[in-house]
Amino acid sequence: MEMNASYTSFVAVGDSFTEGMSDLLPDGTYRGWADLLAARLAAREPGFRYANLAVRGKLIGQIAQDQAPVAAAMGADVITLVGGLNDTLRPKVDMSMVRDHLEASVELLAPSCKQLVLMRSPGRNGPVMERFRPRMEQLFTTIDELAAKHGALVVDLYGAPVLADPRMWDVDRLHLTAEGHRRVAEAVWQTLGLPAELNWRTELPLAEPPGWTVRRTQDLSFARQHLLPWIGRRLTGRSSGDGRPAKRPELQPYGDAPLS
């Protein structure tokens, strides 16, 4: 990777992680690592252009069908593709189909841009993570193989203990906090060969774990507000992204449209 490289455009492809949940802004919209990265790239390059096609809840098949062809047609310098994790969290998943959709997306996107970036997504420590870890690691093996074959970069967020710290995750236990997104933006920034501004892997200070009562209260709140609605959507075949448009569908100069 060329150090201190110059990039004039960036397209982000993916699901809620790339849309920016749960980096909530005062106006009720989400920012997230991709917006943070775009802002930093734009500060280096006049006329910098940015699109974010991500939609929460999308599976890799939907990303491959709806987002990858649009992104490929934009001819951007940098494309980030993060997908497949929602598939691994489903009760039933065909990992060979996940691989096929990822492979099709990478084969389409890699030759269309100056640099394709893939990710090994972070995972929050806890029982849910342990249940789905084998699927996730199978997904990450596929990502590593596709990156090696097609010359893509891989940002290894999964290998960073700090991003497994529960304090980096929102109360829904599925999405990073603002600090988590800030660190992801820095990780992608450095992977692109740009000068480091911080050590994004620095772990949080040790803290006394919450007591039993606090933990049980948090568990009950999580179940009511997030887990049960999530299960309900799975049982009825619905998604949180149904009918939702892409976050920033056009590759436009950075300041031409408000960022979510």
pLDDT tens by residue, 196-215: 999 999 998 877 676 656 55
pLDDT at 174: 87
pLDDT at 128: 67
Q: In the chain, which stretches have pLDDT less than 70?
A: 1-3, 128-129, 208, 210-242, 256-260
pLDDT at 123: 85
Spatial distance between the Cα atoms of 10 and 151, rounded to a whole number of angstroms: 17
Angle at 158 between CA 82 and CA 166, to 5 degrees: 105
Count CA atoms within 13 Å of residue 183 on its CB side: 24
pLDDT at 91: 82
Count CA atoms within 13 Å of residue 219 on its CB side: 10
pLDDT at 88: 92
Spatial distance between the Cα atoms of 143 and 149, rounded to a whole number of angstroms: 10
pLDDT at 173: 72
The overall pTM is greater than 0.85: yes
pLDDT at 212: 55
Q: Which of 22, 13, 3, 19 is nearest to 79 (CA)?
A: 13
pLDDT at 245: 87
At 156, the amino acid letter reads D
The distance from CA 197 to its chain's CA centroid, rounded to whole angstroms, is 21
